Structure 1
Amino acid sequence: MSDLLRLATAGSVDDGKSTLVGRLLYDTKSVLADQLDAVHRASVDKGLSTPDLSLLVDGLRSEREQGITIDVAYRYFATDKRTFVLADTPGHVQYTRNTVTGASTAELAILLVDARKGVIEQTRRHAAVLALLGVPRLVLAVNKIDLVDYDEGTFEVIAKEFTAHATSLGYPMGTVLAIPVSALRGDNVVEHSPHTPWYTGPTLLDHLETVPVEQDPHEAPFRFPVQYVIRPRTEEHPDYRGYAGQVAAGTVRPGDEVVVLPGGLRTTVERIDTPDGELTEAEADRSVTLLLADDVDISRGDVIAAAAEAPELTDELSATLAWLADKPLRQNQKVLVKSGAKTVQAVVTELRTRFDEQKLATHEYPETLTLNEIGQVVLRTAEPLPVDGYSSRGRTGAFLVIDPADGTTLAAGLVGAPLPLLDRN
């Protein structure tokens, strides 16, 4: 079992995400004393008799005053069994893009619903995004169970409806767990609640500590987008030529045969440098400088990859887009595609399908994709790009679509990723 779990939260506005995350931090003793004192003071100022644990994660003062969270907040906490990296995402519809960001590397997502409201439109939208991104496991936290008098029937109706929806999105049996919780009171978050004797499953923390982690980017083929070419040309290092960046996937060692794309030239890794000295290997997420055995022409944006399992080089991307901009996407629209460290011009040659996450239906050849809609498209790029399929390689199969006029991000793209319903059919 991995000792690290990456997870994300999602849910509608006021479902209690910040309070739940605050409860996890508080009950696992992951809060510094001065932070807790500040929360107590702020809670007293608001006239509350108990600490408002949401203040532990709602970082900006203006956000606290408005009672909303508008960004992805990354939190780190640990227990004796596992370390956690948690992305707390906002619930507003217009910030669905933040859910895409927070869930893009998650191995599990906690999706909250208010026990009084049940599964709503935003719940279904978030579930579709999580399925699209390939998040392998879901927890449905039926929050505020205390406000429905801990009613078992209410919980069962919500759990059954959501499990059916998740199954329709492609989630296998056993990958979705519903838990009745009260983030405010702590019911079934870290300790089992005496108010829900009818619930015999694990607490939220028990589940997080024991759930298997199935994806390991270290075991994938080596991928290294070049961020910077280092040529100091000093008397001490007259011939030094290194390629700096972060290992996106896999592991690299001196002596490994690699290919440089898009050029296609092959060579071997001679040395792995860091500010702290040389390494005998570098794994995913490690920032290093590679020195190669041959003098190869490499520029920022090129990809150094395992020669035996190189990514496909193509100028036509069949992909799924999560559209994140107010302005709609239309066929023949000119955009920029950013893959790794490389940005190229592109045109959307085809809008193939749009996914209706509420009705679990697809619409063929739509005229547009609008804010928060998901669809399959074809893009033609001005230059060939080395890409992997998202479903098999994750991080190295994702890209951004950018507005060439002002540089804003228009969409998150996943190479070859099928829409959830199409995958089922």
Structure 2
Amino acid sequence: MSLCDCHGCQLVCVALVYSETMSATATSSLVPRLLQYAREKVASAQPAILSNLARVTQLPLIIDVALPGAAYFSVAAGGLCDVLYLLGEEVVKVDRFVGASGGACSLFLILANDKRAPSDQHAAPAGRCPSADLLLESYLEYAKLEGSSGVQRSLSAFWQALAGVSSFWEDKYRALLTNEAAWAAVRSRGFCAIASRPIRQQIFGSAPSDAVYHAVGDNYILHNFSEKEEAVQAFVATGEATAKGFTKGIAILGSDRSFAVVGPQAGRPSQLRSLPASFCDGGRPANFDALHDHASPNAFLYYNTWFENASEAAFCTPESIEHLYKRGVDRTIDCLLSESFASPTPGTLNTVAGKAAKDSIVLALAGADLAQEIGKINAKSPLYGGSFVNLAGSEIREQPSFA
């Protein structure tokens, strides 16, 4: 008799199969349930949101979105984008996304779900915010890959901290960019913030060279990608908060690329410079004023995606995805209903269901004092400035910190 011929083993096998089947069923139903949650919340709040926005600005409101690095807390960006999606392009249009680390991953998954034809995107970049179904499905796929037990997830996280992030995301980015609509959106409206091996430079130093450009605050914001693989490697690099990232880094550009520092903030001779050889996690979002003659004409939405349960930053599970997505929905609606367009409202305690909370969000209208607006929420990762690197245009524009 084989090992599994006994009655007890058969019962165990049946139980395991049943458990896995039930888990798969629950996971497959999660995305529709979350989207329904967002629909109901937005439908209830939409009249008041429209009234509040119309009080201070013309509609549709055109916004840029900033998502700071927050590991897998950044799943909450899915809730944000579905609120904007469900409000519709008659109310709000989204132009650019800037993000770092997990925030960059989420913005990639949002933009890659833009189903407009590339020609339509080129003619009118700002449009209806894509829905979050691709984002949710991708994070759920990754969660399944990482294992169903805490031990499996911990071992995976430990190994990635040493050897580098899972190849899952590199493969996912590369596959998504085979779709030309996704490539058009990520290329033109995705801004990826990265750093250049900060720990290695701080420990060992780096030889000064006029030929190599060093970004404001070691914050390189790559955009207008000239090749798909540049985008893939940039979005991989921004998530490399690992031993591999901080020592070896990720190569993004060829050694023969050179860039000119342009604009009123250049402050340097106009000679061409190369970029560092490799990059890693450590970048931060910045506002877009440097890309315009004076200031960006768009409103600026900053979502500080830090939460109370640290394990949700380290481990991606169906439970954490559901919790963070719903928090994103609720926080965004609360912001758009607020007279100050900030959540929590300035001067009030940051609580959710009576418990202390850490996430916050603010919408700064075009022309507003951005430092004052961001100050409303005491963001953990405020805007420190950086250098916008236009890869296809071979130019760099420097954005000073507003602080």
Task: State whether TM-score is above 0.5.
Answer: no
TM-score (normalizing by structure 1): 0.27
Higher relative contact order (CA 8 A, sep 6+): 2
More strand by share: 1
TM-score (normalizing by structure 2): 0.28
Larger radius of gyration: 1
